[in-house]
Structure 1
């Protein structure tokens, strides 16, 4: 098998993982509609934590981490618990396709901006261009030219907060990786911390009384927990390690495809032109940032 043929299966694996992550937005909306944000948030990561354990041992994952690495993992878990709540709360009010697109497209741009601010890194002309394109794409996605500050309504504000929180989590994940923490061990700890924190907020709603929730909730939460959580996360890390970091960011823009199409099929959500244009511009921005010429400069940022 040639190197090109060998990489093909990892490209396919990455595409499958991204599509499932996109579909999770529509599935999450169904789960939230048949329970509430607190219960759905707890069960999503409780299931992911339980089902990732066999994969951790199968992959012979290293459990090595220093104190700072552990701190980063716990902090990330706490932030993702907040993200998890915002995810389901946003889906209770807003559209799954729009939410999946908004968070996926804006989060990388915010991550770059935060990295530049925190680490005071010099920025190249191409990076300025990429940021400009990305910010313009975010403005279109938020429909600012058409609705002004209308994006601050309840339908969009949760998703915007999701994007901000996920950007911070991304930077923390990069810091944990610099401490030599294995990505799958990082995932295990984060899943566990997230599930535990969300459990405390779910307890008033009796999440362990299983017959309180119908089959629609359980099928969707199992899909999100097992396939979007454990399976796709493992697939993502395995494929990313073979494809290379410089190409991984580009694949994230397959997520909106899964979100938009699945939400259109299940909920009949309108596919807005502003969503497509904004997502496309953000995709171009990430392409510019992840091009090989910019790798050396970018590495200094993270």
Structure 2
């Protein structure tokens, strides 16, 4: 391991910190404005920044877009920005951000299952399927067991909505994988954020609850700025910058830190109580993620080849 790698690992930790921070901040803001309004302002800021960067770096590419391109970006915006974002924010009105963040660890398992069902992609070696089982047991522990030990209907509803939200994110990831064979990650993220923002804006107009924003504290707009700039834009660029430096294999493992940071920041910022079932669920989900992402052989030829290319 080179000393320079630690710099990239540090950047990844910062990106995961920003992504984890979105959980407690979202819970704070949905108590001050509607999910449609929060989503609109967050992705309005992010979209403007993305578009400025895209126009400054790849203006010529934009001229090649077709109606099919618009369709693809709109589908991505519907799945990963508006669909996921609305469900995520709605769930924060029912459950706690610490429980939601812990459930976020189910994403790799859902993507692995969907990839198998849709594309026929299999996990190898087969013992990695044990990771999927562990992750689902962790989610069941958080969604089911705790809700029935100290029955809380709102938490049960909210946690179920979080799970549905990640089904939308799974669809976004798989469809985005197909789209990014034609477009760069910057283009894909820019236009999916923009189309999703338009959907949030349309929903907010129909909802027509703008008077509610008159009474929001100044901290609401600071939190929106953090979500739009740091969580959505800076986190994205740090993640893909490091992927270009050390590869997707080593970078992807750091996504495991998102539920950890989300849970810990919820404790610190919101003083949320962490139950023993949440800790067990978080451990099971994290263990499942590590098993799924564990390389077949760190010393195999593909890993060495990737490192040689990056060097």
- TM-score (normalizing by structure 1): 0.85
> Are 2:171 and 1:168 aligned?
yes
Cα distance in 2 between the residues matched to 1:274 and 1:294? 33
In structure 1, runs of 5+ residues without a counterpart are 297-302
Shift of 1:126: 2.2
Cα distance in 1 between the residues matched to 2:141 and 2:246? 31
Shift of 1:18: 0.6
What are the Cα deviations for residues 104-161 of structure 1, in whole angstroms up to 9, with x where unaligned? 2112111111111112345542232222222323322323487399888323222111
Cα distance in 1 between the residues matched to 2:256 and 2:204? 32
Among candidates 177, 183, 186, match of residue 185 of structure 2: 183
Measured at CA, do residues 275 and 82 of structure 1 come closer, stay the same or move farther in structure 2, by a change above 3 Å? same
3-state secondary structure, aligned to 2:272:
coil
Number of residue pairs the alignment of both structures matches: 292
Measured at CA, do residues 252 and 292 of structure 1 come closer, stay the same or move farther in structure 2, by a change above 3 Å? same
3-state secondary structure, aligned to 2:54:
helix
8 Å CA contact 1:69–1:181 kept in 2: the answer is: no
3-state secondary structure, aligned to 2:2:
helix
Shift of 1:239: 1.6
Larger Rg belongs to: 2
Cα distance in 2 between the residues matched to 1:262 and 1:218? 19
Shift of 1:36: 1.2
Cα distance in 1 between the residues matched to 2:45 and 2:26? 14
8 Å CA contact 1:31–1:218 kept in 2: the answer is: no
Partner of 2:84: 83
8 Å CA contact 2:33–2:213 kept in 1: the answer is: no
3-state secondary structure, aligned to 1:141:
helix
Partner of 1:196: 198
Cα distance in 2 between the residues matched to 1:8 and 1:160? 34
Partner of 1:299: none
Cα distance in 2 between the residues matched to 1:164 and 1:250? 20
- TM-score (normalizing by structure 2): 0.83
In structure 2, runs of 5+ residues without a counterpart are 301-311
Cα distance in 2 between the residues matched to 1:52 and 1:106? 28
8 Å CA contact 1:34–1:216 kept in 2: the answer is: no
Among candidates 10, 14, 17, match of residue 16 of structure 1: 14
Partner of 1:46: 44
8 Å CA contact 2:256–2:289 kept in 1: the answer is: no
Alpha-carbon RMSD: 2.9
Measured at CA, do residues 72 and 11 of structure 1 come closer, stay the same or move farther in structure 2, by a change above 3 Å? farther
Cα distance in 2 between the residues matched to 1:195 and 1:288? 36
Cα distance in 1 between the residues matched to 2:238 and 2:187? 14
Shift of 1:228: 0.7
Cα distance in 1 between the residues matched to 2:67 and 2:285? 36
8 Å CA contact 1:37–1:92 kept in 2: the answer is: no
What are the Cα deviations for residues 167-219 of structure 1, in whole angstroms up to 9, with x where unaligned? 11111121122x23111111110110110001001113355996453312211
Measured at CA, do residues 273 and 58 of structure 1 come closer, stay the same or move farther in structure 2, by a change above 3 Å? farther
8 Å CA contact 1:144–1:150 kept in 2: the answer is: no
3-state secondary structure, aligned to 1:33:
coil
8 Å CA contact 2:105–2:289 kept in 1: the answer is: no
